[in-house]
Amino acid sequence: MPKNQHAEDGERLQLLLEQYKRLQLGEAHGFIDEEGFAGIVDYFLEKNMNAEALEVAEHAVSIFPFSAELLILKSDILLMLKRYEDALANLDRAELFDRHNADILLIRADALLALDQEDEAERLFQQAQNDFEGEELIDLLFELADIYDDYECFQKVFDCMKSVLLLDPKNEEALYKICFWTDFTGRNQESIELHKSIIDEDPYAELAWFNLGAAYQGIKLYEKSIDAYAYAVAINEKFDYAYRNMGDAYIRLKQYKSAIECLEKVLTLSVPEDVIYEAIGYCYDKLEQYPQARQHYRKASHLDPENAGMYYKIAITYMNEGEWLHAIKSLQSALKFQLLNTDYNLAIGRCYMHLEQYEEAITYLGNVLRVRPKNKGGWMEMLNCLLRSGMYEEGVTYADLALEMTDNKPVFIYYKAAFLFSLGKSKEALTHLEQAVAALPKFVKDFLEMMPHLLKHPQVVDLISRYKKQKGSIK
């Protein structure tokens, strides 16, 4: 705005405020028209002086009782003040003088939703489509969508976007928004039909193809989603989000090489993101190409250096290669950010166990049990560690603790039997083993892998053979 115009507007507003002040005092004042009152109201609203704005609006309506504009302005202020019933009553008056006014419908919808009168608000949605058309209706639907969003009427937001696209299939704002709301509301089948109809009219509608792919992806039809994304990138070869989603679909199908190709394309088209590097790393991980997986996990970590999960994933790749010391180094980095994370402590405990550094292993596995005392996996790792380290007396004590903390899960009876056998207490051990086999026969194979020398123990072999014949459940 030119400086002179701005100064003139400021002077005019100042004059209006002075005239209004004289009006309040009952003194002689110049004539204030409807536009002038509206300007004064706007001034007070900008100052967050809503009560004063309402007072001005009431003065204005008393002078111009047939002004729909001023009645609507007053209703809007009443809405801000949460006087919803008063706002609705005021709108009824405004509607007498201007039935075809979008602001009346929008303020009414806002007030009705605030009063939890969703059925009445739904009637307004239908009324909007009957009373308005063209660009005016489209603008109104976008505004209605914002109101519905404010009141968490998310299905109606989707309805608004769908209605916009039925009026204007090329409306980019609606195409972008309906993709999000389809995913949020789960109305994928509806979105599929809508976007198919748009594509029938315009086969080169890249956003419609993208949305079609996203909707197919939402109902796990990944092959169809990939086909739709392929059309989108054929139309626009720089459509990075289509490549991103296509990569995700290939991951769901476990087609990791194809996923990597798509995700690497994303890196060439947009600013590198840690989530893309992480996803590529995940694909290489699944392909058991661990050095490449680490390379991409590290790139993700450089972009988000405080993401402990990346250090953990790097560590797992080292563990898969038996590189225990490298794994420990990465896990120690992860633990700097999440000291008591049970996954990290469990993994580092396993690493130390493989290195036969049992004291360190017990320290980290102990952290797991302190944080999650009922965790079956944590207890099993601790007992494995005690068994491998030859700490059999402690093992019996910990097996009893595990049974107590996990509501007597029978797997720990096996462990107690293992420690008793290791202590040479065969009679007591056999009693526990028989109890364990009766309660959890499918763990026998794991038990024998843990204690292979017992295959030469006649009484153990006899016990297992008897249960095979009786139950037929031991493989």
Confidence of residue 22 (pLDDT cuts 50, 70, 90): low
- Taking CA atoms, 101 is separated from 71, 104, 319, in Å, by 12, 6, 68
- The predicted pLDDT at position 29 comes to 52
| 448/443 Cα distance (integer angstroms) | 9
Check pLDDT > 90 for residue 406: yes
Residue with tokens 């026969």: 441
**Residues in the chain, how many?**
475
User: What residue type is assigned to position 232 of the chain?
Assistant: A
**Tens digit of each residue's pLDDT (9 = 90 or more) over 47-70:** 788 888 888 888 788 788 898 888
- The predicted pLDDT at position 7 comes to 42
| pTM as predicted | 0.84
**Tens digit of each residue's pLDDT (9 = 90 or more) over 227-255:** 999 999 999 999 999 999 999 999 999 99
State the average pLDDT over residues 363-371: 96
State the average pLDDT over residues 325-342: 97
| 259/62 Cα distance (integer angstroms) | 68
Check pLDDT > 70 for residue 94: yes
| 475/468 Cα distance (integer angstroms) | 8
- The predicted pLDDT at position 474 comes to 53
- The predicted pLDDT at position 122 comes to 87
**Tens digit of each residue's pLDDT (9 = 90 or more) over 134-187:** 999 999 999 999 999 999 999 999 999 999 999 999 999 999 999 999 999 999
Confidence of residue 256 (pLDDT cuts 50, 70, 90): very high
| 372/379 Cα distance (integer angstroms) | 10
Task: Give me the long-range contacts of 294-298 (CB less than 8 A, separation at least 24).
Answer: 294/318
Structure tokens at 311: 């250090």
What's the whole-number average pLDDT of the chain? 91
- The predicted pLDDT at position 446 comes to 94
- The predicted pLDDT at position 189 comes to 98
